[in-house]
Structure 1
Amino acid sequence: MAGVRRLAEGTPPQRERFVDLLRAVAIVAVVLGHWLVTVVGYQDGQLTGRSALPDLRWAYLITWLVQVMPVFFLVGGYANAASLTSAHRKGQRAGDWLVHRAARLVRPTTALVVILSAGAGIARLLDADASRTRQVVWFAAIPLWFLSVYLIVVTLTPLMWVLHRRYGVAVPAVLLVLVTAGDLARLYGEEAWGNGSFLFGWLAIHQIGFFWRDNRLPTRRRVQWAMLAGGGAVLLLLTGLGPYPVSMINVPGERLHNMSPPSVALLALFTCQLAAALLVRRRAERWLRRTRPWMTVIAVNAVILTVFLWHITAAILLTAALHTLDVLPTPTAGSAAWFVWRLPWLVMLTAVLAVLVAVFGPIEIRGSRTPRHRPRWLPAPAADLLARPAPRLVLAVTGLAAVAFGLLDNSLLPRTQPVPLGIPAIALTAYFAGALLLRVLGSAPPPPPVTGSVPHALPREDQ
């Protein structure tokens, strides 16, 4: 706690703390949402897990409140813009920034990938059913598909920032048109043409974070209330009279899905969320000037990716333990017993996740550290080559692309298709090759800073 207090007391006064709060709230909401909506039961004597949403149609409107992934991408846009401009002021290039950003994302992820593949390998040696092993790994790896998209967005950030500086609002406008075209393609049965929205939709929201960073979002409360009302009206029309489902979280059997890939309806919901955030922004900032609330936000954000990556694993471990002890309740989704079971379920899951965060959280904390000297194992000529701007940028993009491909390839493989290590060999190879490349780049000290700075007066901070 002493370290957290020092960080809190040393926070620059110009830092927008509300952004950090939004990040923490978004991820915690995702974790709690996954835990609350989980249904655990038995089918043919085997443990199964699924979402309760198909059984809780009355809860579809509640998803408008708990679908907070757009908020995470909004905050990501703000934070990436802040970090990138800070790097430019220090004379760092795009490749340096990507290597630094990758370390904060890839190292904690690698810990999960290693543990899952090692666990699957041990299960194979013990002659466990390969399909069941793959299913367990698939469930534990659910957070990775989302992270693969975010890694792609991060890789594109230097380019998207340049487009933002040059074309401004035209960039998210074009992305909105592309999402709309993808929705039309999906409505007319061309599902493949709609897959581009996985990138276009989240990029559009991420781009709005740039406008927040530039202080170019509406500040007048009348305009903010109009945004809230307008976004809500569009959302009601799209889901009431239009073809979009009410649930903002994917429900099996729906003609369209709003989240995977993002739809125009989800962007309408995001407009409401953005307006609500702007409306409470000043009050939240004043509250976060207090030491205790700000210390809590700092502590949560220090391990926020670890929390996100391991929360499904916590549920698997707890379920397995209760099953082994023969004390696992399996009430019907939506029943009174099921709702009563939610409270002890959350308490026990929080305890298990706390242990996992205590073990793996330090990896995330160390991931942000930058080497000061060339490691002995890296030859000087190689370090000199990796320090050059062009090779460093190309290799950083290559490494991030390989990592993202590995995570995505694993997510696309059917959950019951057996593979030796629970994750496809191609996915593991691509992931570890990319992670190793990024690690080597991170181990090589960056080149000396270039002279000059970004001609844009922004507070000096790295979020």
Structure 2
Amino acid sequence: MRRLARLAARTPADRERYLDLLRALAIIMVVLGHWAVATIGYDEHGQPDGHSALPAIPWALPLTWAVQVMPVFFLVGGYANAASLAAHRSRGGDATGWLLGRSARLLRPTSALVLALVGSALVARLVGAEPHMVRTVVWFATIPLWFLAAYLVVVPLTPLTYALHRRFGLAVPIALALLVAAGDLGRATGHETAALPNYLLGWLAVHQVGFAWYDARRGHCDPSGNGTARPRRAHRWTRCLPMSRRAALVLTVTGLGVAVLLTGPGPYPISMINIPGQRLDNAAPPSIALLAVATAQLGLILLLRERAERWLHRSRPWQAVIAVNSVVLTVFLWHLSAVILLVGALDRLGLLPTPSAGSAAWLAWRLPWVLLLTVVLAALVAVFGPIEARTGRSTPTDGRPTSRWVGVTAVAAFGAVGYALVANSATAKTAPEPLGLPVAALVAYLAGAGVLRLLRSGWGSRG
């Protein structure tokens, strides 16, 4: 508590604390959402198996508009990446040094998960577990990594995409949204590959809006980008997100209206979380319907901003937000591992409830189920959370430029890690993988993360 009090006391007066609250709440929403819709049963081999309950509870589909908070992650990420990049450059650093600093925050907690899962897989194989069973468990535990794969592509692009924002402002996310719509049109007409770029374009669109929020907060609306000239009205809407209550209402109403039209008379499903069997998915890849919901979420976020900022300037709420954010990625990465551990323990004890999804028994089991999972996740965070909490935000390259080859190597290492996470997600959950993860994906991940670790230590930058 004393450490939290010290951190709270050192918070800069101009920090946008609301962004930290949004990040924490988004993580909590994801965790509770995944836990709440889970239904556990037994497969044909008598082994516990998990599925989403959403197909059996269609009345809950509209609720996915609130619990699909991945757009909030990328919105907050855009603001945070713009702010940290600007701060790093103000200290004399360059884009490569900034990128290495961001890699530490992302990859240290992720590497802990990957290594723990591989070690557990090896132990399971030694005691006689079948490779396909090992893969199934690891596949389920690594579901959260699909989000990180997308974010690991967006982050290295930040220096370029923020430069585009400084030149073209809010025209960039609008153009990206139009490209997403074009990809949707392609898959609606039977050309599924036409929508593959949406995995990047959709999240980039939201990320760019985070840049606009940062510029609005810092007053960087003048066309020169140096924040010294008084912004002309003609440029006020170009680089800066409109923050007024009226603008927030327009975003909320417009986003909801478009989303209703696209999912009612339109071809898109109501659910903003993917459900097997749907002709079109809204989240993988992101659709224009999801971007409409994201617009409504943005409007609601802006409507609550001023009141939330005032509340967060109180000591206790802000300390709670700091505490959650110090382990926020750990919570996200391990929340499905908590499900595996609890289900395994209850199954061994013969106490695993398997009520039908949507039944009265299933609904009654939700509260004890979530409470038990909270206890298990708290134990996991106690063990692995310090890895994230101790991760510094600065790197040895702060304040001095890095060589071009270091930059190329860092981007290639990010690419290797991104490939590894995508390859793991694309591999079937019943594939006979004795290490749980595909061998090529594991090698690529370890190589990419290892190279980034060496570069952060200053290797290759020393004369």
Same fold by TM-score, threshold 0.5 exceeded? yes
Q: Decide whether aligned partners of structure 1 residues 447 and 283 sit closer, same or farther in structure 2, where only a CA change above 3 A counts.
A: farther
**1:354 is aligned to 2:367:** no
**Offset from partner CA, 1:252-272 (integer Å, 9 cap, x none):** 111100111100000000110
Deviation at 1:447, TM superposition (A): 6.5
**1:390 is aligned to 2:391:** no
In the alignment, the residues of structure 1 paired with residue 211 and residue 249 of structure 2 have an alpha-carbon distance, to the nearest angstrom, of 21
In the alignment, the residues of structure 2 paired with residue 107 and residue 265 of structure 1 have an alpha-carbon distance, to the nearest angstrom, of 34
| Contact 2:102-2:393 within 8 A present in 1 as well | no
In the alignment, the residues of structure 1 paired with residue 354 and residue 138 of structure 2 have an alpha-carbon distance, to the nearest angstrom, of 22
Unpaired segments ≥5 residues, structure 1: 374-385, 449-463
In the alignment, the residues of structure 1 paired with residue 431 and residue 459 of structure 2 have an alpha-carbon distance, to the nearest angstrom, of 42
Over aligned residues, Cα RMSD in angstroms? 1.5
1:56 maps to what in 2? 57
**1:436 is aligned to 2:460:** no
**1:208 is aligned to 2:232:** no
Deviation at 1:114, TM superposition (A): 0.6
1:185-204 matched pairs, under 5 angstroms: 185-204=186-205
**1:16 is aligned to 2:30:** no
Q: Secondary structure at 1:243's aligned position in 2? A: coil
| Contact 2:135-2:429 within 8 A present in 1 as well | yes
Within the candidate set 295, 310, 333, 2:319 is matched to 295
1:156-175 matched pairs, under 5 angstroms: 156-175=157-176
**Offset from partner CA, 1:399-453 (integer Å, 9 cap, x none):** 11111111110110000011120111110010000000000011118979xxxxx
Q: Secondary structure at 2:144's aligned position in 1? A: helix
In the alignment, the residues of structure 1 paired with residue 459 and residue 246 of structure 2 have an alpha-carbon distance, to the nearest angstrom, of 50
1:102 maps to what in 2? 103
Deviation at 1:371, TM superposition (A): 5.9
One-letter code aligned to 1:23: R
1:417-428 matched pairs, under 5 angstroms: 417-428=431-442
| Contact 1:96-1:446 within 8 A present in 2 as well | no
Deviation at 1:223, TM superposition (A): 2.2
In the alignment, the residues of structure 1 paired with residue 40 and residue 201 of structure 2 have an alpha-carbon distance, to the nearest angstrom, of 34
In the alignment, the residues of structure 1 paired with residue 79 and residue 260 of structure 2 have an alpha-carbon distance, to the nearest angstrom, of 28
1:140 maps to what in 2? 141
Name the count of aligned residue pairs. Answer: 436
1:223 maps to what in 2? 247
One-letter code aligned to 1:439: R
In the alignment, the residues of structure 2 paired with residue 446 and residue 300 of structure 1 have an alpha-carbon distance, to the nearest angstrom, of 35
In the alignment, the residues of structure 2 paired with residue 128 and residue 64 of structure 1 have an alpha-carbon distance, to the nearest angstrom, of 39
| Contact 1:371-1:445 within 8 A present in 2 as well | no
Q: Decide whether aligned partners of structure 1 residues 138 and 295 sit closer, same or farther in structure 2, where only a CA change above 3 A counts.
A: same
1:24-423 matched pairs, under 5 angstroms: 24-44=24-44, 45-215=46-216, 216-368=240-392, 370=394, 388-423=402-437
1:456 maps to what in 2? none
Percent identical among aligned pairs is 56
| Contact 1:249-1:259 within 8 A present in 2 as well | yes
**Offset from partner CA, 1:376-411 (integer Å, 9 cap, x none):** xxxxxxxxxx97331221111111111111111011
Deviation at 1:41, TM superposition (A): 0.8
Q: Secondary structure at 1:122's aligned position in 2? A: helix
In the alignment, the residues of structure 1 paired with residue 253 and residue 442 of structure 2 have an alpha-carbon distance, to the nearest angstrom, of 46
2:226 maps to what in 1? none
In the alignment, the residues of structure 2 paired with residue 368 and residue 57 of structure 1 have an alpha-carbon distance, to the nearest angstrom, of 44
- TM normalised by structure 2 equals 0.92
In the alignment, the residues of structure 2 paired with residue 35 and residue 326 of structure 1 have an alpha-carbon distance, to the nearest angstrom, of 21
| Contact 2:152-2:418 within 8 A present in 1 as well | yes
In the alignment, the residues of structure 2 paired with residue 21 and residue 171 of structure 1 have an alpha-carbon distance, to the nearest angstrom, of 27
One-letter code aligned to 2:8: A
**Offset from partner CA, 1:246-292 (integer Å, 9 cap, x none):** 01111111110011110000000011000001111000000000000
Q: Decide whether aligned partners of structure 1 residues 279 and 446 sit closer, same or farther in structure 2, where only a CA change above 3 A counts.
A: farther
Deviation at 1:367, TM superposition (A): 2.3
| Contact 2:396-2:456 within 8 A present in 1 as well | no
Stretch deviating more after TM superposition (197-206 or 227-236): 227-236
One-letter code aligned to 2:389: I
Stretch deviating more after TM superposition (222-231 or 387-396): 387-396
Deviation at 1:121, TM superposition (A): 1.5
Which segments of structure 1 move beyond 6 Å, counting only runs of 4 or more? Answer: 445-448
Deviation at 1:341, TM superposition (A): 0.7
| Contact 1:387-1:446 within 8 A present in 2 as well | no
Q: Decide whether aligned partners of structure 1 residues 113 and 241 sit closer, same or farther in structure 2, where only a CA change above 3 A counts.
A: same
In the alignment, the residues of structure 1 paired with residue 128 and residue 243 of structure 2 have an alpha-carbon distance, to the nearest angstrom, of 62
One-letter code aligned to 1:223: A
- TM normalised by structure 1 equals 0.92
Q: Decide whether aligned partners of structure 1 residues 369 and 286 sit closer, same or farther in structure 2, where only a CA change above 3 A counts.
A: closer
In the alignment, the residues of structure 2 paired with residue 127 and residue 220 of structure 1 have an alpha-carbon distance, to the nearest angstrom, of 62
Q: Secondary structure at 1:49's aligned position in 2? A: strand
| Contact 2:97-2:402 within 8 A present in 1 as well | no
In the alignment, the residues of structure 1 paired with residue 402 and residue 271 of structure 2 have an alpha-carbon distance, to the nearest angstrom, of 49
Q: Decide whether aligned partners of structure 1 residues 25 and 420 sit closer, same or farther in structure 2, where only a CA change above 3 A counts.
A: same
Q: Secondary structure at 1:155's aligned position in 2? A: coil
| Contact 1:387-1:444 within 8 A present in 2 as well | no
1:383 maps to what in 2? none
**Offset from partner CA, 1:341-367 (integer Å, 9 cap, x none):** 111111111111111111111111222
| Contact 1:24-1:300 within 8 A present in 2 as well | yes
| Contact 1:134-1:415 within 8 A present in 2 as well | yes
Deviation at 1:12, TM superposition (A): 0.5
Deviation at 1:105, TM superposition (A): 0.3
1:458 maps to what in 2? none
In the alignment, the residues of structure 2 paired with residue 287 and residue 237 of structure 1 have an alpha-carbon distance, to the nearest angstrom, of 36
In the alignment, the residues of structure 2 paired with residue 446 and residue 275 of structure 1 have an alpha-carbon distance, to the nearest angstrom, of 46
Q: Secondary structure at 1:214's aligned position in 2? A: helix
Q: Secondary structure at 2:355's aligned position in 1? A: coil
Deviation at 1:166, TM superposition (A): 1.2
| Contact 1:370-1:442 within 8 A present in 2 as well | no
Unpaired segments ≥5 residues, structure 2: 217-239
